[in-house]
Amino acid sequence: MQKRPVKRGRPVGATSFDADIARAFGAAVRALRTERGFSQESLANLADIERSHMGKVERGEHMPTLVIVFKIARGLGCGAAEVMGRAEEELRGGTAD
């Protein structure tokens, strides 16, 4: 019996992108970043991701992977739970300020 090759990624037509969640996460990252006085570029460097990718995350144009969530949190000097909690507040329409 011949093994089928393992395909990476989602099946064709499948998506896990949710614009509201992506925007809320991006707003949370932007708020935490500005509170800490980081530029977008400096946070991207601290998180070890491309600055253009960071911009897409902050604008809600990209749904970050779990790895990226942890990298951003590490760059911000906080835990992923803090970033996600802030995103949940954004989704509820409130802010942590």
Express each pLDDT in 38-63 by its tens digit. Answer: 999 999 999 999 999 999 999 999 99
| Of the listed ranges 7-21, 25-39, 60-74, the one predicted with least confidence | 7-21
Closest CA to 54 of 29, 18, 35: 29
The CATH architecture of the domain made up of 19-91 is Orthogonal Bundle (1.10)
pLDDT tens for each residue of 55-96: 999 999 999 999 999 999 999 999 999 999 999 999 998 654
Q: Cβ-count burial of 46 within 10 angstroms (0-12 exposed, 13-18 middle, 19+ buried)?
A: middle
Q: Which helix (H) or strand (E) holds 84?
A: helix 80-91
Q: What are phi and psi of 32, to 5 degrees?
A: -65, -40
Instruction: Specify the pTM.
Output: 0.80
Residues in Cβ contact with 70 at an 8 Å cutoff, skipping those fewer than 6 apart: 80
Domain boundaries, the chain: 19-91
The position carrying tokens 């590490």 is: 74
Residue 2 has pLDDT above 80, yes or no: no
